[in-house]
Amino acid sequence: MTDYTHNPFASTHSLDTNPFDDPSTPTQYQSQTSAAEASRLEEIRRREADLERREQELNAKANNLRRHGKANWPPFFPLIFHSIKDEIPEASQPLITRLYQLWLVLFLTLIINMVACIFILLAGGEEGGRDLGASIGYLFLISVLSFLLWYRPIYNGYMKEQSLYYYFYFFFGGFHLLFSVYMIIGVPSTGAAGLIRTIQMFTKHYWAAAILGLVATIGWLIQGLGNAYYYRQIYAHHTAAGHTMEKAKAELATHGAKAYFTRG
Question: Nearest to residue 190, comparing CAs of 160, 164, 163, 220?
Answer: 220
Model pTM? Answer: 0.73
Residue type, 36: A
What count of other Cβ atoms lies within 10 Å of the Cβ of residue 128? 20
Domain ranges of the chain: 19-68, 84-261
Closest to 153 measured CA to CA, from 143, 164, 144: 164
CA distance 130 to 133: 5
pLDDT in tens, 208-232: 999 999 999 999 999 999 999 999 9
* 14: confidence class by pLDDT, cuts 50, 70, 90: very low
63, pLDDT greater than 80: no
Beta-carbon contacts of residue 104 (< 8 Å; ≥ 6 apart): none
Q: Does residue 6 surpass a pLDDT of 70?
A: no
Q: Which has the minimum average pLDDT: 12-16, 80-84, 159-163?
A: 12-16
How many CA atoms within 13 Å lie on the side-chain side of 200?
24
CA–CA gap between residue 49 and residue 101 (Å, rounded): 36
User: Residue 221: its pLDDT value, please?
Assistant: 97
pLDDT band at 30 (very low <50, low <70, confident <90, very high): low
Q: Which residues have a Cβ under 8 Å from the Cβ of 110 and sit 6 or more positions away?
A: 135, 138, 139, 142, 143
